[in-house]
Amino acid sequence: MTVLGGENIWGMVYGVVTIGDDALSLTGGAGYAYFENSLGFETLTADGAAVLIGGELRLGPTVKLISESHFLPASDPVISLGLRIIGERLSADFGMGAFNPITDPNLFPIMVLAYNW
């Protein structure tokens, strides 16, 4: 994934795999971030790999328990847990997240709407 923004280029080289089925699945991935200033030819890469761990558990015909956690080098982890309400074409995720919940118990809300064409 590469994003071009004016004089800068940034992105991530990554891989993700999901195992399981519609009732229960586990997702894992890892990647390296990079940044390049195209004018000065300065290229920076992350100190280590970013890691993703997530999963879904079906609770009923239209509800799943979902979690996605990101572990970043030299940064606090981002942990989240929520519910996915699944409609015929529209789904909505409602959850809470935390930056390093062990040392900082403050939560932030998460809401995602997705429409399947």
User: pTM of the prediction?
Assistant: 0.76
User: Can you give the residue ranges of every domain in the chain?
Assistant: 2-115
Residues in contact with 88: Cβ distance below 8 Å, sequence separation at least 6, in sequence order: none
Query: Two tokens at 103?
Result: 């040392």
What is the chain's pLDDT, residue by residue, as a tens digit (117 residues)? Answer: 888 777 778 788 899 999 999 999 999 999 988 887 766 666 777 778 899 999 999 999 999 999 999 998 878 889 999 999 999 999 999 999 999 877 888 999 999 999 999
